[in-house]
Amino acid sequence: MEAQKSLKVECLTEDEAINLFKKKVGETTLNSHSDIPQLAEIAAKECQGLPLAIVTIGRAMADKKTPQEWERAIQMLKTYPSKFSGMGAHVFPVLKFSYDNLPNDTIKTCFLYLAIFPEDHEIWDEDLIFLWIGEGFLDGFVSIDEALNHGHHIIEHLKTVCLFENAEFDRVKMHDVIRDMALWLASEYRGNKNIILVEEVDTMEVHQVSKAKEAQRIYLSTSSLEELTIPPSFPNLLTLIVRSRGLGTFPSGFFHFTPVIKVLDLSNARITKLPTGIGKLVTLQYLNLLNTDLRELSPELATLKRLRYLLLEGSLEIIFKEVISHLSLLRVFSIRVKYMLSKRNYISSSTEEEVNYSRKADKAIYLHEDNKALLEELEGLEHINWVSLPIVGTLSFQKLLNSQKLQNAMRRLHLWNLEGISILQLPRINHLHSLAIYRCGELQDIKVNLENERGKRGFVADYIPNSIFYNLRSVHVNQLPKLLDLTWLIYIPSLEHLSVYHCESMEEVIGDASRVPENLGIFSRLESMNFYHLPNLRSISRRALPFPSLKTISVMECPNLRKLPLDSNSARNGLKRIRGESEWWQGLQWKDETIQLTFTPYFKEW
């Protein structure tokens, strides 16, 4: 309609929802029993602020005058919302209009897939997209990067049409009523109950769930994996997602009953050992072991000849030799390393004392030590094109420098313990998304090679779009006691997240950038910057920067940082929070009082 401005109609607040719901129920019904007003509030909350659902359900409850009727109705809303009066006839068909107008079947399939997770579940964007890739929804793309980019496009489109919702920190979720509609679409409306089956079964007595035998996709949740009962045969099961809130081992023999499983997601299952029999899953293509407590990757994995995507947790310490080299179809190999800022800095890595429990020096690769052998196995894989892992030690780093194939595949690079290196010349890694440099005691300076194919050098505006680090979005440096500055970051045009911890010698983050034009936009895409235990830090930047994308600043144990590179035009678009110690904030120096008053409302004490 060529409107000049579009406004998103938000869901009602809880009070607004309750008031509208009670209005549709009517005073006569509300006054028919003293328990009903409280039950009405419970029912209203089930609508999650969606006006269409509030009106429909409120009208349906108008003739129910006893608490027992209300309690039965609320239970139906919680368990079988599609069967509640008016939902299938009035609410879902209206919501279905948005679904029907999605551009293609791929987006429709990706939308329905999120309904496999329980109500209010939030999932990282990238984790969801990798599941879509593992399921084969995005198989039309040659590279993983193209598939990931398209996945992000799908998520943004689904948010635009209000079928997905934003959650914090690059996560996404589905409104409860939208999820109910998705399950209705996937089963009752289409007359096919096998597309998606969600079974959040805390008792895990799967054999009691009669529908499970026919399910294609199942989500299971339990408080303890030891309680899991061995199920009957699942001849149609393609996808199994398991979550556990307690530590444990997977029951022996479970996978004898899943002959055609393609996707196995045990992330957040808190397992300490790989399930016995996992090597029997000859059809498996996607295996997610993120956020587990695995220390050792079993040799049994070498039999998974069709495996294409392997996602591992940074707590992993041992991979047996020639396991990875046997996975001939592997495309994605990722070890996710977590870095968190807290009063005690934490990194997901192991101490020497923790890994001596199982040394088999001739048969295993120890990830906390030199892991050159792992890089050699990855290099030998024909189809590998997306790699994320820690590279430990100078020999391993040299292996990366000598392998163009590994550099082309590297997406997240974590450099640890580069002994004897005082000047780090970063290699040309065009597709690198994330860089972490950790525990390099001699490192003083980091450099980038600014020479492009035509032999030009220097920092000029028209060079940046072709930068060798154009895709680099996150930089984390930690425990580099001799590092002097990070001035090389001015050459990273797409940087979004910067964290600098335990760099005791650093006095400036950005040093002399006088030759960089002021209109070029240093840190123009930076969203967050974190500085922790930098006792000599005096400056982030010598001049104030506009920071058009900045959302958060976190500062801890930086007593000499007395100025922030902010002026009245800085961070005007989206700043949400500045965190630090109260004493540090009170001691900051500002160019004028107006700037101080501008940023004071954003300060939150640690």
- The 10s digit of each residue's pLDDT in 377-418 is 999 999 999 999 999 999 999 999 999 999 999 999 999 999
Where do we find the tokens 């001015």? 490
Please write the tens of the pLDDT for every residue from 210-243.
Answer: 566 777 888 887 776 666 655 567 788 899 898 8
Question: Mean pLDDT: which of 141-145, 325-329, 344-348, 430-434 is highest?
Answer: 325-329
What's the pLDDT band for 1 if we cut at 50, 70, 90? very low
Beta carbons within 10 angstroms of residue 288's beta carbon: 24
CB under 8 Å to 572, separation ≥6 — which residues? 546, 548
Q: pLDDT value at position 345?
A: 36
What is the CATH topology of the domain spanning 92-189?
Arc Repressor Mutant, subunit A (1.10.10)
Residue with tokens 């010598």: 542
- Per residue in 56-115, pLDDT tens? 677 778 888 888 888 877 876 666 555 555 555 556 665 675 777 788 999 999 999 998
**Cβ(218)–Cβ(254) under 8 Å?**
no
CB distance 524 to 489 below 8 Å = no
CB atoms within 10 A of CB 465: 9
Contact (CB, 8 A) for 452 and 466: yes
The 10s digit of each residue's pLDDT in 250-270 is: 767 778 778 899 999 999 888
Match 């890739």 to its residue by tokens: 133
Axis crossing angle, helix 372-379 with helix 394-401, rounded to the nearest 10 = 20
Q: Label residue 203 by pLDDT band (50, 70, 90).
A: very low
Average pLDDT over residues 544-552: 92
Residues 185, 201: Cα–Cα separation, whole Å? 22
- List, in sequence order, every beta strand (DSSP E) within 71-212: 123-124, 165-167, 171-173, 197-198
Minimal CA–CA distance to 540: which of 572, 494, 586, 588?
Answer: 588
- pLDDT, position 430: 86
Give the pLDDT confidence of 483-492 residue by residue, as tens digits: 999 999 988 8
Residue 160, pLDDT score: 79
CATH (one of 1.10.8, 3.30.1490, 1.20.1740, 3.30.1330) for 14-79:
1.10.8
Work out the pLDDT band at 375, boundaries 50, 70, 90.
Answer: very high
In sequence order, what are the beta bridge partners of 146?
A: none
What mean pLDDT is predicted for residues 125-147? 93
Contacts 24+ apart (CB under 8 A), 86-93: 86/56, 86/57, 86/59, 86/60, 87/53, 87/56, 87/57, 87/180, 87/184, 88/184, 88/188, 90/52, 90/56, 91/52, 91/53, 91/56, 91/177, 91/181, 92/180, 92/181, 92/184, 92/185, 92/189
Name the nearest CA neighbour of 310 among 349, 350, 265, 251.
265
pLDDT, residue 381, reads 97
Share of the chain above pLDDT 70, in %: 79
Q: pLDDT tens for residues 285-336?
A: 999 999 888 888 888 899 999 999 999 988 888 999 999 999 999 999 999 8
Rounded-to-integer distance, Cα 399 and Cα 436, Å = 18
**In angstroms, rounded to a whole number, what is the distance separating the alpha carbons of residues 438 and 391?**
10
- What does each C-alpha distance from 437 to 348, 432, 477, 559, 603 come to in angstroms? 13, 14, 5, 24, 29
Domains 14-79 and 92-189 share a fold: no
Contact indicator for 118, 198 with CB cutoff of 8 Å: yes
Identify which of 358, 288, 276 has the alpha carbon closest to the alpha carbon of residue 317: 358
Integer Cα distance of 286 and 238 in angstroms: 11
Q: 81, 32, 38: which is closest to 56 by C-alpha?
A: 81
What pLDDT does 383 receive? 95
pLDDT of residue 472: 92
The token pair at 546 is: 């506009």
Contact 406, 378 (CB under 8 A): yes
Q: Half-sphere exposure of 278 toward its Cβ, with a 13 Å CA cutoff?
A: 24
Cα–Cα distance measured from residue 477 to residue 486, given in angstroms and rounded to the nearest whole number: 10
Tell me the pLDDT of the chain averaged across its residues. 81
More confident residue, 29 or 314: 29
Q: In terms of Cα–Cα distance, which of 269, 412, 417, 266 is closest to 333? A: 412
Grade residue 517 by pLDDT with cuts at 50, 70 and 90: low
User: Per-residue confidence at 364, pLDDT binned at 50, 70, 90?
Assistant: confident
Show me where the domains of the chain are located: 14-79, 92-189, 448-452+461-605
Question: How far, in Å, CA of 311 to CA of 122, rounded?
Answer: 19
Amino acid at the residue 341: L
The 8-class DSSP code of residue 271 comes to B
CB 304 within 8 A of CB 283: no
Query: Could you tell me if 506 and 466 are in contact, meaning their C-beta atoms sit under 8 angstroms apart?
Result: no
Q: Which residues contact 583 (CB under 8 A, 6 or more apart)?
A: none
